[in-house]
Amino acid sequence: MQAGAGKDNGTFPYRIRRDRISLRSLMRQIISIWWVILLSCFSTGLAAQVTEPEDSSAQQIVNIDNANELRLLNRGAVQRLIGEVELSQDSIFMYCDSAELVNEVQVYAYENVIIQQGDSLAAFANYLDYNAESLLALLRGEVVLKRGDTELYTERLDYDLSTKLATYHTGGRIVNKETELSSRHGYYYAEEDLVFFRDSVVVIDERFEMRADTLRYDLAMERVYFLGPTVIRTDTNRIYCEAGYYDVALDQAVFSKNAQYKSGERLAAADTIRYFGPEELYILEGQAFVAEGEFQRATANRISYFGAEDRYKLEGAATVVDSNRTVTGDTINYNAAVGSYAVAGGRPRVSSPPNIILADKMDYDPELDLSIATGAVIFRDTSADLTIEAENARYNEATGYVKAYGGRDNRPLLTALLDQDTMWMAADTLLSLQSDSVDANGDTIRYLSAYHDVRILKSDLQAVCDSLGFNTVDSILTLYEDPILWQDTSQLIGDTISVFFKGQSPDKVRLQRNAMVITTPDLIFFNQVKGKIIEAFFDSTSLSRTEVNGNAEAIYYVVDEEGAYVGVNKTACSSMVLEFSEGAVTRIRFLSAPSGKMQPMQAVDHEAIKLEGFRWEIDRQPKTLDDLFGGRAVIIKEPLPAVPPEVRNEE
């Protein structure tokens, strides 16, 4: 659980910390308790009492070692013993207040019953029914089986030596120091070395608590099986499953059937959770899910956690979601130790509204705090209707920063929707940055820049320059270093060109330093306007007016009502305003005393009359999407065509 992604800043990929009590430690604590209980209470205890000696006849005789009073009943077949009764069979000693011994085989012992073997085992009960032939021992009433620090409490305990099965069915409680195990039923199969605890199994320790429906412990294989709903809790952790096992010798576990793990706000779930202790490896398989808090979650067909490296691997339909983004891919690798991640396969996708990025592969550089996307990269800003296509991109979801490079002919492409019209832009490098602020309309503010061989194509506007900048705050597109802008039959040049948008449509253009506007109705004769600063205004897709301030100069061709050329006028003044229609000058206003005159068409050298700095670079104008790619456009300066004979000279 980034795809982000980034440092441990509260967003995914987030660190899932290692727990204070490892699964291995927890399970060993539980198993060590079971081992003591089982071997102490059953295997070494009752089994030792009823194990058959080699001499079977000795086994069937119960000896009377002491009694205050002996009564013979039923012609001596029954011996009633009263007061400080002591009986023995081999190394097993029995004590009680009173007893009946039938045919020296059947023992009924009453009150303060004690069974003892050596100094290590003692069993206490209110009643004992023991038969040396059937090999069945029944203890009843406040039964306590004690060996060392382990004690078993129950009301009824049965041990069948013929099947080597010890059971209780009215509830039992086993205590070992600070740990207590209880269940409704308990079964010990000595022959198979198997123990079952069934129905309301509870293990309570100061370090953990476990509740289960049924547990089976294979002593020979040292493996514990969970045969029903099981919950293991510590102060900080919770494990739930309905099947599975823990292998003590290998320190491996499998939790299956609705397996879940919870630690604080962190929750993990899968069809199966596998644990490999020596490798510190956890594997979640089948609908694997990891979540933390309200927003952070990760899903995949398989999630592996490598504890020693503090690293995660999500495989198969992998998805990571946090409060800022959604990351998808076939495989997601997250290194929590250094805060880096990589996404590959299945077209990795990161959604961080309003931004979406897709690529063939995604990595993260923690030193730069940047994600790296490679291979057919697509970045989308849905709020600005903006798309960038490139071969490579570096980005930061938190800031909205994107740097794109590479692609077709090693050039990224930007596509934007402006007033239901598409604008394309290509350059060597594209940069986009999203601000934390919003504009007056509540939209996210974005800053856009491009540099080196920038080319723009729109149905009503085309441009080339070395670099440009744009922001959505004032909606001004600024072109730098040898910029040229075309609109319809107009060409605008200057050291710097600023395009002012009204809504999503160009409203006016400001040309600064070496500014010139060139229009032509026929691509033969060129109206020219030059000045320090020129502001050009557009009506729909055509130039409608230019305002020239500072050292204004103009060359404009006068036409009659039929569109025939009348003459050419070259004028200079400090400021002027020219109005255009279909590329021709329709009106001119001089804001100071002008100098100049109109001359006949055939009396003028149309090449020599051009203003200084004139250049008509129609060959650099992008006309199709293909023109945005390939080598840099070559500036081709061809001589003007000859004046056609039909041109009229009105003078």
Please report the DSSP string for 293-357 in residue order: TTTEEEEEEEEEEETTTTEEEEEEEEEEE-SS-EEEEEEEEEETTTTEEEEESS--EEEETTEEE
Among positive and negative, which fits the CA dihedral 636, 639, 644, 649?
positive
> Mean of the per-residue pLDDT values for the chain?
81
Is the pLDDT confidence value at 50 over 80? no
Q: Which of 428, 456, 412 is nearest to 627 (CA)?
A: 456
Q: Which CATH superfamily includes the segment(s) 413-628?
A: Lipopolysaccharide (LPS) transport protein A like domain (2.60.450.10)
pLDDT tens digits for range 391-439: 999 988 777 889 999 999 999 999 988 778 899 999 999 998 877 766 6
- The alpha-helical segments, DSSP class H, found in 355-449 are none
CA–CA–CA angle 169, 171, 174 (5° rounding): 120
Is the pLDDT confidence value at 249 over 60? yes
Q: Which of 412, 416, 449 is nearest to 428 (CA)?
A: 412
Would you list the DSSP string of 150-215? EEEEEEEEEEETTTTEEEE-S-EEEEETTEEEEESEEEEETTTTEEEEEEEEEEE-SS-EEEEEEE
How much is the pLDDT for 118?
Answer: 66
pLDDT tens digits for range 548-580: 998 888 898 888 888 788 899 888 888 888 887
How much is the pLDDT for 196?
Answer: 87
Of residues 171 and 418, which shows the higher confidence score?
A: 171
Give the mean pLDDT of 585-609. Answer: 82
Is the pLDDT confidence value at 58 over 60? no
Backbone torsions φ then ψ of 16, nearest 5 degrees: -100, 105
170: left (phi over 0), alpha (psi -120 to 50) or beta: alpha
d(Cα 278, Cα 383) in Å, to the nearest integer? 50
Of residues 36 and 496, which shows the higher confidence score?
A: 496
Residues 267 and 290: beta-carbon distance below 8 Å: yes
Q: Name residues whose C-beta falls within 8 Å of residue 298's C-beta, 6 or more positions apart in sequence.
A: 1, 12, 289, 290, 291, 312, 314, 318, 319, 320, 321, 332
How much is the pLDDT for 27?
Answer: 54
pLDDT tens digits for range 481-537: 999 999 878 899 999 999 988 777 778 899 999 999 998 888 889 999 899 999 988
Question: Out of 93-107, 147-161, 516-530, which region has the weakest mean confidence (pLDDT)?
Answer: 147-161
Is the pLDDT confidence value at 591 over 80? no
Of residues 517 and 11, which shows the higher confidence score?
A: 517
Q: How confident is the model at residue 593 (pLDDT cuts 50, 70, 90)?
A: low
Query: What are the domain boundaries of the chain?
Result: 413-628
How much is the pLDDT for 648?
Answer: 31
Give the mean pLDDT of 612-641. Answer: 74
pLDDT tens digits for range 343-378: 888 889 888 888 899 999 988 877 788 889 999 999
Among positive and negative, which fits the CA dihedral 160, 166, 170, 176?
positive
594: preceding bond cis by omega (within 30 degrees): no
